[in-house]
Amino acid sequence: MDWQAGFTLALVAGMVASMVRGAAPDLVFLGGVAALMTTGILEPRVALAGFSNEGVLAVAALFVVAEGIRRTGALDWAARGVLGRPRSLAAAQLRMLTPVAVLSAFVNNTPIVAVATPIVADWGHRIGIPPSKLLLPLSYATILGGTCTLIGTSTNLVVDGLAMRRGLEIGFFEIAWIGVPVLAVGLLYLLLVSDALLPDRSAGPDERMDPRTYGVRVLVAPDSPASGRSIEELGLRRLPGLFLAEIDRDGRILPAVGPEMLLRTGDRLLFVGAVESVADLRRVRGLVVLSEDEAESDGRHAQGRHLFEVVIAHGSALVGRSVRDANVRGRFQAAVLSVHRRGERIPGRLGDVVLAAGDTLLLQADPSFLDRHGRDPDFALAAAVSGSDVPRYERAPVAAAVLVAMVVAHAVFEVPLVTAALLACGALVLTGCLAGSECLQAIDLRVVVAIAASFAVGEALASTGVAAWIAELLVDSMPRAIGPLALVACVYVATAVLTELISNNAAAALMFPIAAETAAAAGLELLPFALLVMMAASASFATPIGYQTNLMVWTPGGYRFGDYLRLGIPLQLIAAGVTILLVTWCWL
């Protein structure tokens, strides 16, 4: 082993150790790329090639597609129609994991995870289950589902291409003999143990239940889909950090609101809670958050408008005036939704509240509010409330059609994923589902950078010979006296270890020649070893860096490196055991 191989091996070990300690993956990978370029192990052209890789560009485009689905409210349909409102974590996971696993057998799992992540996170908040209990199983289910057909994952296609050079043609459902049993056992494992092994990283009292408590009035708008549905059915009892205090129905106050009560058009609901929960409330279709004059009741005023918090400064012209007389709408082009003072909401009619220095106003205004009034002397502080936009529900069918068209184009007509995704982005913008500025905001650059930089690390492992050395060392160390079972086990283990260190496609490409030579030397058929490499290269469960879908759920789920080890290592052992036994029993 020369110095370049030794340096690369030590660098990768240091990167893994850094991420185990909680370092951000994108920064770790960028640091690794910089070290590889500085030492001359990789030329800049090679080290930065991942940033022009079509797979990375596809991931970026898919973030935009997912944002288009979210902003139009198509997520609400998915949550209600497909996911429903289960009452337990196991039921929720069963509803979620089964359809995504089946879909990922025919569609690349990257777009599934990109689109499903915000859906599942939003759904989890609505039903009171933290996303950390759902998103990692989501990634694992798509990985397992991808092992059931030849097109389920690009890894299978890599192995198929290499096998064809040796005269072996693999059938479309050939791998299903192994993939389907592994999928069934893997899903059962996730349903039984993920609750115990995954952390509950839902927002704590210091996050969702912050001291800025607001009271807001919400109207059941005319022709609202919420009319005739119960409080429980709409999920209004389970919004984190939000309490339904009363309902004003035709001037009669109903203070004790049971979960079975049906809403009617014209009902005015008083909610008390944290500002983030008020933002969640605005995304419930058919409910309109009312301003101080309660004149806007059709919901159209909320389209394209966001929530902002402002603190009234000492010496402000607003001090000593009532909310109604302050004319906030005329002076700042904003509507006052609520006022809080020293950690408490102020009771009574909002328009009658007399403002004082230090009061915090919850405003509804267009997105340019901060640009126009962020430094206004009347405000000591002004800030936007994250995620407070109202879905464009009228565009939901269009966004759903664009998504279906993208999937069909890629899965049926074999349009490259990056092409289909970019066309979908353009369609979302042209149809008004997304604005151009929203496209840029939708891309999670930290995930994209981490994935792009990981290509360089994988290339360094391959070009310096470290990856091949690890694989050969593992193969040579396995006792062959046991027979075919030992050969199958050593090939699987070597491939599985490699796929945790580098990309699954690179692991498959490196291990397939070794597996083919092993089969030839033992006088065995090539097919079972080709399927073995397919399965092992996709079995990346123990780290977030081996498979990009694992990396994509890292931040939304609030995960740490140890979470992957705790849930993923047993799943990896289960997948290994089932695969090795089936290959040995069915073919050898």
d(CA 275, CA 281): 10
**Per-residue pLDDT at 137:** 94
Ramachandran angles phi, psi of 181, nearest 5°: -60, -40
d(CA 198, CA 194): 6
Q: Which domain holds residue 370?
A: 213-384
Q: With a cut of 70, say whether residue 238 has pLDDT above it.
A: no
388 alpha-carbon distance from chain centroid: 18
Half-sphere exposure of 367 (CA within 13 A, CB side): 10
Does 435 fall in a domain? no
The residue whose two tokens read 């891309």 is 443
Does 414 fall in a domain? no
**Per-residue pLDDT at 203:** 46
Identify the top-confidence range among 256-260, 287-291, 378-382: 378-382
d(CA 468, CA 112): 32
pLDDT-derived band at 581, boundaries 50, 70, 90: very high
Does 351 fall in a domain? yes
DSSP secondary structure string for all residues of 80-103: IIII---SSHHHHHHHHHHHHHHH
d(CA 339, CA 353): 8
Does 157 fall in a domain? yes
Q: Residue 15: which residues within 8 A CB-CB, separation 6 or more?
A: 28, 29, 31, 32, 457
**What is the pLDDT averaged over residues 275-280?**
66
Does 407 fall in a domain? no
Give the residue with greater pLDDT, 477 vs 4.
4
Question: Do 180 and 40 belong together in one domain?
Answer: yes
Q: Which of 172-186, 266-280, 322-336, 370-384 has the lowest mean pLDDT?
A: 266-280
Whole-number Cα distances in Å, 149 to 241, 373, 420? 44, 56, 21
**Per-residue pLDDT at 430:** 92
Decide if 540 contacts 500 (C-beta within 8 A).
yes
Question: Do 472 and 360 belong together in one domain?
Answer: no
The residue whose two tokens read 């057909």 is 149
Average per-residue pLDDT for the chain = 80
Q: With a cut of 50, say whether residue 376 has pLDDT above it.
A: yes
**What is the pLDDT averaged over residues 485-489?**
83
Give the residue with greater pLDDT, 131 vs 83.
131
**What is the pLDDT averaged over residues 178-197?**
93
Domain boundary among 338, 363, 384: 384
Q: With a cut of 80, say whether residue 10 has pLDDT above it.
A: yes
Question: Do 37 and 140 belong together in one domain?
Answer: yes
Q: With a cut of 90, say whether residue 329 has pLDDT above it.
A: no
Question: Do 370 and 475 belong together in one domain?
Answer: no
**Per-residue pLDDT at 427:** 93
Question: Do 334 and 454 belong together in one domain?
Answer: no
Question: Do 322 and 379 belong together in one domain?
Answer: yes
Question: Do 181 and 307 belong together in one domain?
Answer: no
Domain boundary among 367, 384, 401: 384
**Per-residue pLDDT at 573:** 94
pLDDT-derived band at 434, boundaries 50, 70, 90: confident
d(CA 559, CA 136): 9
**What is the pLDDT averaged over residues 541-565?**
84
Q: With a cut of 80, say whether residue 32 has pLDDT above it.
A: yes
Q: Residue 90: which residues within 8 A CB-CB, separation 6 or more?
A: 191, 195
Whole-number Cα distances in Å, 339 to 52, 360, 364? 49, 6, 12
Q: With a cut of 60, say whether residue 370 has pLDDT above it.
A: yes
Q: With a cut of 60, say whether residue 204 has pLDDT above it.
A: no
**Per-residue pLDDT at 205:** 39
Does 454 fall in a domain? yes
pLDDT-derived band at 81, boundaries 50, 70, 90: low
**Per-residue pLDDT at 391:** 67
For position 274, which CATH number holds?
Answer: 3.30.70.1450
pLDDT-derived band at 365, boundaries 50, 70, 90: confident
The tally of domains found in the chain comes to 2
Ramachandran angles phi, psi of 386, nearest 5°: -65, 140
Question: Do 370 and 468 belong together in one domain?
Answer: no
**Per-residue pLDDT at 532:** 93
The residue whose two tokens read 């509804």 is 364
DSSP class of 386: T
**What is the pLDDT averaged over residues 97-118?**
78
Does 154 fall in a domain? yes
> What percent of the chain has pLDDT above 90?
14
Q: Which of 180, 182, 172 is nearest to 148 (CA)?
A: 180
Question: Do 231 and 121 belong together in one domain?
Answer: no
Question: Do 61 and 145 belong together in one domain?
Answer: yes
Q: Which of 67-81, 84-98, 164-178, 431-445 has the lowest mean pLDDT?
A: 67-81
Which 3 state secondary structure label does DSSP give 309?
A: strand
Give the residue with greater pLDDT, 102 vs 211.
102
Half-sphere exposure of 85 (CA within 13 A, CB side): 13
Question: Do 238 and 368 belong together in one domain?
Answer: yes
**What is the pLDDT averaged over residues 373-385?**
86
Q: With a cut of 90, say whether residue 187 has pLDDT above it.
A: yes
> What percent of the chain has pLDDT above 70?
85
Classify burial at 183, counting beta carbons within 10 Å of its beta carbon; exposed 0-12, middle 13-18, buried 19 or more: buried
**Per-residue pLDDT at 578:** 95
Domain boundary among 384, 404, 432: 384
Question: Do 196 and 217 belong together in one domain?
Answer: no
Does 206 fall in a domain? no
- The secondary structure element, H or E, covering residue 440 is helix 436-442
